[in-house]
Structure 1
């Protein structure tokens, strides 16, 4: 199963996917990392796994449609089955959605629909909610509104700091994303 991963920052979810022997054995091939931030740490992580990188800055284009069209042109020859968003901090527009309908998956650090959009973990922490979590979903034209694939709860502990809660959320993300991808790999072989 050929995929591209889109990321903007640190890339811990990207690395959790890239280093998984189980996913590789099941047939996952990461063809490309698409990154919109030329100094993002995820680029170093991609180099570590010999995964090609396409750095594409929105500021180099007159509009978001042209920006995404450049991505599509880069992806076309790869014949991808899915695009996996892993900390990609751009809202996907209808241009990319039309090129990969029902084949773009996102991971979000909350139990959607709660705390959609940016800064989900700090907002969940500040809310005082006893339970937050992680959602993996297909992308649609809204912000974090697409059909849910899987959700997992993360309980807020009495002595949690925002950092300790964030750490547990990220651990949950890494496990969940690998499992969802493995399920896709297994189900496509049936």
Structure 2
């Protein structure tokens, strides 16, 4: 995909964002990051973007009367910066059908479990509470539901007997930083195809 422009949405420390910045700078991802948007001020994701010379803007959810006004500002910023692919990197808000339709089939997210199991905001806690032996991470397209869009790629990691949320999170995060840039690379190369819920990837 020539002249691709990524728009990254984040809510916190931005470690997945950093892995994408690194992949762009290394030439693995052949695109530029047009803008990084956060829904909270003073988060590390903004600092990471600024350090890399990327436009970094806080669209503070608390300053908007409702989700509609908040999302319209997000869409406005993304379009003003020429974004062609929206990347959610620890963005802790469910997007409305309005937003999803503005970037139909052009929004990706990474979730720290093997979807469809353990969706939602507390995946590691829920994994440990349930007692499963394997967890991991999932890159998926975003639809109108919560962590429910077509699955693109997954990576499994073992759940150890002495794991805490922190140790499991660290192990999963290592894999997130590998597969998310890889999926973006494949998408921009035109190697990812969606047919309903099924995603195929060219060799």
TM over 0.5: same fold? Answer: yes
- Give yes or no for the alignment of 1:39 onto 2:42: yes
Instruction: Give TM-score scaled by structure 1 length.
Output: 0.93
Cα separation, 2, equivalents of 1:11 and 1:26: 18
Q: 1:101-159: per-residue Cα shift (whole Å, max 9, x none)?
A: 11110000001111111111121122211001111111111100011111111111234
Q: What's the counterpart of residue 15 of structure 2?
A: 12
Report if the CA contact (8 A) 1:17-1:23 is conserved. Answer: no
Q: Which residue of 1 aligns with 2:91?
A: 88
Aligned to 1:123: 126
| TM-superposed deviation, 1:21 | 4.8
| Greater Cα shift, 9-18 or 71-80 | 71-80
Contact 1:19–1:49 (8 Å) recurs in 2: no
Query: Matches of residues 82-161 of structure 1 in structure 2 within 5 Å?
Result: 82-161=85-164
Where do 1:49-68 residues align within 5 Å? 49-68=52-71
Alignment coverage as a number of residue pairs: 189
Q: Which residue of 1 aligns with 2:197?
A: none
Give the 3-state SS of the residue equivalent to 1:178 in structure 2: helix
Identify if the C-alpha distance between structure 1 residues 23 and 64 changes in structure 2 by more than 3 Å, giving closer, same or farther.
farther
Q: Residues 25, 139 of structure 1: CA spacing in aligned structure 2 closer, same or farther, 3 A cutoff?
A: closer
- Using the size of structure 2 for normalisation, the TM-score is 0.87
Instruction: Give the counterpart of 1:169 among 169, 172, 175.
Output: 172
Structure 1: give runs of 5+ residues left out of the alignment.
none
CA distance in 2, matches of 1:57, 1:14: 19
Query: Which structure: greater helix fraction?
Result: 1
Structure 1 residues 56 and 21, CA gap change in structure 2 (3 angstroms)? closer
What is the Cα deviation at residue 71 of structure 1? 1.2
Give the Cα separation in 2 of the matches to 1:135 and 1:80: 23
Aligned CA-pair RMSD: 1.7
Shift of 1:77: 2.5
Relative distance call for 1:159 and 1:187 in structure 2 (3 A) is same
Tell me if the contact between 1:23 and 1:178 (Cα under 8 Å) persists in the aligned partners. Answer: no
Partner SS, residue 20 of structure 1: helix
Aligned partners of 2:11 and 2:92 also within 8 Å:
yes
